[in-house]
């Protein structure tokens, strides 16, 4: 059969797959609508049915384009089509018409080579336009010198970039696939230089885990942490395009419900706040609020005055601390001890001469009255608020920052001092989160919990009363029928009254609940995270299942990682896996040659990733004056408007018309203009890393505008003169 006949045959097969997809979509939509209006079963069962159908609808909707992207032929004559989702033959439900790319049988599509064909004869890759197969390329394994064809890969790499990251499900390379399918339940570190695809590999690994561990993952979901909102927007469509939506995207600055921190501290302050030593500072700050009075505090009770002295407060404080409860919750222990001592002393004085301790009932009756009096006594409440105050994390940290005395008492660096009312920074969020654990729930939160508990108990009593009142109706039944009838009554008549049907998505519920824990966490640009950041993330994932993505050479944060063991060994010592990616799929060789010179300046021991392609376009530079700069940037924008794709102008902070390199980390653009590289280099100890990031954002074209002579590290640029 010739190429055209083969192409027509493949078009017909893929068209049939789309017909199956449309039929399945219609069936699921009808089931979803039926579930919405259904009346059978309990409310909980109907709710679960609606959620399941809705998830299935979303899974099918992502497959409109790129449904099938290839075919595998085995030496045994078997033929398998590989695609975005799995579809089954209508006549044989155990025979897939389309294999999900994550299925074990699909793996050779990504890993088979001429040297190791894995039992395969041929790999066929489709080039598609919407729902139509426009062409295909074949690799026949076993032929001398035969290598994997790169037509589909190069087409994807050379295509103009859109508004966000695309999935690579059709072009996953062998080294990437090995990481995606790695069977490691704990922490996996993926390190790679710019353009190696580490982020998209991590996201496809999440999709793979959610496919292979669906039941374990779907109830708690996955958390993806990125450096800034622009980055999260950039990667946000990848997992939905793979049919996975139970994912929460967040920056470190937005991990606390109700707080979105975007302000950055000065590097030295960020380094101090990010140190694990801040845990001891915060503990000391909390302990400093657990006071012993310098002078006894008088409390009036009936006709006597008793005192809270240092001895009483010290005893109560030690008991409260020994309880192991967080500060706010341990106040109940402190109060109980103080109340006991005060009432004992008051009764002894009030009943002196006429009440004997052996008269237990009289003693306890008087104690009960005194306890009630103390509960409303303003002087007693004021004393408790002074000796053991209820605090929120925001109140305590704000007070600590604004007081040189409190900072000194807690052993904190004096550079943390700042004026009251200043906005919270990204580095403050881990400290506030730590304080949530140290302080526990404040009065408002405790009241909400108590009200919820009381409501649940009232509902349970009501349910029990209803069931008891109905028992007589079933007296004529045998035990088995009686049990069945009672169960049906509770399930059908009472479940709708008492079950809490939360209609929010998993992401909405997780973002609103600080105590939410995830089954898996992805941390991107992980080299920027501080020791305190890692404490926050470890709390969010008790199972310690992480995919950690980063490049130590690109670190810019003063509190960031200098090694992966530094951050991970305190939590998973010796139990984390490391994998590296070495091929640059984003940056053309011409641009990477320039960036590699910069890398050699600040990280001579780090090898730049090898570019998989060259595009023949040489990066250029031009010297301009400050007056000429705005016109030169405008000229760049006009020239780029003639191309399809995206562009960006990167410069040092404060230069009009540019964005800092830090805001482009993890992003990619067809064309990049770097302004004043000499100022970026001089911008601090990590200036060279900033410039390295800026140079490696481009997928096609790179230009540089400079005021002073070019730094030696950029000597590979072709200098141009404005005509």
Residue 523: what pLDDT? 98
Mean pLDDT of 145-165: 64
Better pLDDT: 41 or 168: 168
In the chain, % of residues over pLDDT 70: 86
How far apart are alpha carbons 68 and 335 in whole angstroms?
Answer: 68
Task: Average the pLDDT over each of 257-271, 462-476, 562-576 and give the range with the smallest value.
Answer: 462-476
pLDDT exceeds cutoff 90 at 461: no
More confident residue, 44 or 206: 206
CA atoms of 440 and 329, how far apart (whole Å): 6
For residue 487, give the H/E element and its range: helix 479-488
CB 97 within 8 Å of CB 110: no
At 55, the pLDDT band (50, 70, 90 cuts) reads: confident
Q: What is the mean pLDDT of residues 256-263?
A: 94
Position 652 pLDDT exceeds 80: yes
**Secondary structure (3-state) at 312:** helix
Average pLDDT over residues 325-346: 95
Q: Which residue has the higher pLDDT, 501 or 52?
A: 52
Q: Which residue has the higher pLDDT, 253 or 139?
A: 253
Residue 65: its pLDDT value, please? 75
The whole-number pLDDT of residue 577 equals: 97
Cβ atoms of 463 and 302 closer than 8 Å: no
Backbone angles phi, psi at 100, to 5 degrees: -65, 135
Contacts of 329 (CB under 8 A, 6+ apart): 440, 441, 446
pLDDT in tens, 592-605: 999 999 999 888 99
Percent of the chain at pLDDT exceeding 90: 63
Greatest mean pLDDT among 8-12, 370-374, 505-509, 651-655: 8-12
> Is residue 81 classed exposed, middle or buried when 0-12, 13-18 and 19+ CB atoms within 10 A define those classes?
buried
Range from 85-94, 188-197, 256-265 carrying the lowest mean pLDDT? 85-94
Residue 435 C-alpha from the chain's centroid = 20
Q: Mean pLDDT, to the nearest integer, of 413-435?
A: 96
pLDDT level of residue 638 (50, 70, 90 thresholds): very high
As a whole number, mean pLDDT of residues 271-289 equals: 98
Is the pLDDT assigned to residue 551 strictly greater than 90?
yes
pLDDT for the residue 147: 46
pLDDT at 385: 97
Highest mean pLDDT, choosing among 258-267, 446-455, 681-690: 258-267
Binning pLDDT at 50, 70 and 90, where does residue 43 land?
Answer: low
Annotated binding site: 192-199
Whether pLDDT at 31 is above 50 = yes
Q: How far apart are the C-alpha atoms of 332 and 391, rounded to whole Å?
A: 14
Q: Tell me the pLDDT tens digit for each residue of 74-93.
A: 999 999 999 999 998 766 66
Query: What is the DSSP code (8-state) at residue 166?
Result: P
pLDDT at 299: 94
CA angle 414, 415, 420 (to 5 degrees): 90
Q: Which residue has the higher pLDDT, 153 or 202?
A: 202
> What is the pLDDT of the chain when averaged over all its residues?
87
DSSP string covering 591-630: HHHHHHHHHHHH-TTSPPPEES---SPPPEEEE--TTTHH
Residue 215, classed as helix, strand or coil, is: helix
pLDDT at 501: 52
Half-sphere exposure (Cβ direction) of 457: Cα atoms closer than 13 Å: 6
Taking residues 622-627, what's their average pLDDT? 94
The whole-number pLDDT of residue 201 equals: 95
Mean pLDDT of 393-416: 97
- Cross-strand bridge partners of residue 88: 96
Report whether pLDDT(282) > 90: yes
pLDDT for 46 beyond 90: no
Q: Tell me: pLDDT of 260 over 60.
A: yes
Task: Yes or no: say if 123 and 141 are a contact pair by the CB < 8 Å rule.
Answer: yes
Q: Which of 167-176, 406-415, 417-426 is least confident?
A: 167-176
The SS3 call for residue 649 is strand
Task: Give the pLDDT confidence score for residue 486 in this predicted structure.
Answer: 41
Q: Are strands 698-706 and 620-623 parallel, antiparallel or unpaired?
A: parallel
Please give the pLDDT value at position 484. Answer: 39
Alpha helices in 78-160 (DSSP H): 108-111, 151-158
In b/e form, how buried is each residue of 410-421, taking b as 16+ CB within 10 angstroms?
bebbeebbeeee
Overall average pLDDT of the 481-503 stretch = 44
What does the pLDDT average to over 498-509? 69
352 in helix, strand or coil? coil
- Residue list, annotated binding site for ATP: 192-199
Residue 259 predicted with pLDDT over 90: yes
Residue 146 pLDDT class (50, 70, 90 cuts):
very low
**Mean pLDDT value of segment 629-635:** 95
pLDDT at residue number 469: 54
Residue 624: name the closest of 524, 494, 491, 719 by CA. 719
């Amino acid at each position: 059969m010739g190429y055209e006949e083969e192409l027509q045959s493949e078009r017909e097969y893929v068209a049939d797959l789309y017909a199956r997809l449309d039929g399945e979509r219609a069936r699921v939509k009808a089931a979803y609508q039926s579930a919405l209006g259904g009346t059978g079963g309990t409310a909980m069962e109907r709710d679960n049915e609606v959620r399941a159908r809705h998830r299935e609808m979303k899974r099918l909707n992502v497959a409109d384009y790129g449904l099938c992207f290839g075919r595998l032929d085995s030496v045994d004559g078997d033929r398998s089509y590989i695609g975005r989702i799995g579809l089954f033959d209508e006549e044989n439900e155990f025979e897939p018409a389309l294999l999900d790319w994550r299925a074990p049988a699909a793996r050779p599509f990504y890993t088979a080579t001429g040297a190791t064909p894995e039992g395969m004869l041929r790999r066929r890759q489709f080039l598609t336009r919407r729902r139509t197969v426009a062409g295909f390329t074949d690799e026949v394994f076993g032929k001398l010198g035969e290598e994997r064809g790169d037509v589909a890969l190069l087409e994807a790499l050379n295509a103009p970039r859109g508004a966000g990251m695309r999935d690579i499900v059709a072009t996953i390379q062998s080294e990437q696939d090995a990481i995606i399918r790695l069977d490691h339940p704990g922490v996996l570190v993926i390190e790679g230089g710019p353009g190696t695809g580490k982020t998209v590999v991590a996201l496809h690994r999440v999709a793979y885990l959610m496919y292979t561990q669906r039941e374990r993952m779907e109830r708690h979901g996955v958390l993806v942490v990125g450096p800034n909102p622009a980055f999260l927007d950039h990667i946000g469509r990848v997992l939905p395009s793979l049919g996975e939506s139970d994912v929460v995207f967040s920056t470190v600055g937005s991990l606390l419900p109700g707080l979105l921190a975007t302000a950055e501290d000065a590097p030295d302050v960020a380094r101090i706040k990010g140190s694990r030593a801040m845990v001891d500072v915060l503990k000391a700050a909390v302990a400093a609020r657990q006071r012993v009075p310098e002078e006894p505090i008088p409390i009036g009770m009936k006709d006597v005055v008793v005192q809270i002295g240092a001895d009483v407060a010290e005893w109560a404080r030690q008991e409260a601390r020994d309880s192991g409860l967080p500060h706010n919750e341990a106040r109940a222990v402190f109060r109980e001890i103080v109340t006991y001592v005060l009432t004992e002393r008051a009764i002894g004085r009030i009943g002196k001469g006429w009440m004997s301790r052996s008269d237990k009932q009289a003693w306890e009756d008087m104690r009960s009255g005194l306890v009630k009096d103390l509960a409303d006594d303003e002087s007693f409440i004021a004393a408790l608020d002074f000796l053991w105050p209820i605090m929120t994390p925001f109140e305590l940290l704000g007070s600590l920052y604004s007081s040189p005395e409190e900072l000194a008492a807690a052993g904190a660096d004096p550079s943390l001092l700042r004026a009251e009312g200043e906005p919270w920074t990204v580095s403050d969020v881990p400290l506030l989160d730590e304080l949530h654990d140290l302080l526990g729930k404040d009065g408002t939160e405790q009241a909400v919990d108590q009200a919820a508990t009381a409501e649940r108990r009232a509902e349970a009593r009501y349910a029990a009363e209803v069931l008891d009142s109905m028992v007589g109706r079933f007296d004529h039944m045998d035990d088995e029928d009686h049990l069945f009838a009672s169960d049906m009554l509770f399930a059908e008549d009472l479940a709708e009254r008492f079950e809490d049907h939360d209609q929010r998505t998993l992401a909405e519920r997780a973002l609103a609940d600080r105590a939410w824990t995830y089954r898996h966490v992805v941390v991107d640009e992980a080299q920027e995270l501080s020791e305190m950041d890692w404490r926050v993330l470890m709390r969010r994932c008790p199972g310690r299942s992480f995919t950690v993505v980063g490049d130590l050479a690109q670190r810019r944060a003063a509190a960031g990682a200098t090694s992966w063991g530094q951050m991970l060994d305190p939590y998973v010592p010796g139990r984390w896996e490391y994998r590296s990616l070495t091929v640059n799929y984003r940056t053309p060789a011409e641009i990477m040659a320039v960036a590699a010179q910069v890398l050699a300046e600040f990280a001579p021991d780090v090898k730049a990733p090898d570019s998989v392609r060259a595009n023949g376009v040489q990066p250029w530079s031009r010297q301009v004056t400050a007056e000429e700069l705005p016109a030169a940037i405008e000229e760049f924008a006009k020239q780029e408007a003639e191309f399809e794709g995206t562009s960006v102008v990167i410069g040092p902070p404060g230069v009009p018309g540019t964005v800092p390199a830090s805001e482009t980390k993890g992003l990619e653009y067809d064309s990049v203009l770097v302004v004043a590289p000499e100022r970026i280099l001089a911008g601090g100890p990590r200036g060279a890393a900033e410039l390295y990031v800026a140079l490696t954002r481009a997928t096609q074209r790179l230009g540089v505008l400079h005021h002073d002579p070019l730094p030696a590290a950029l000597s590979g640029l072709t200098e141009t003169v404005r005509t």
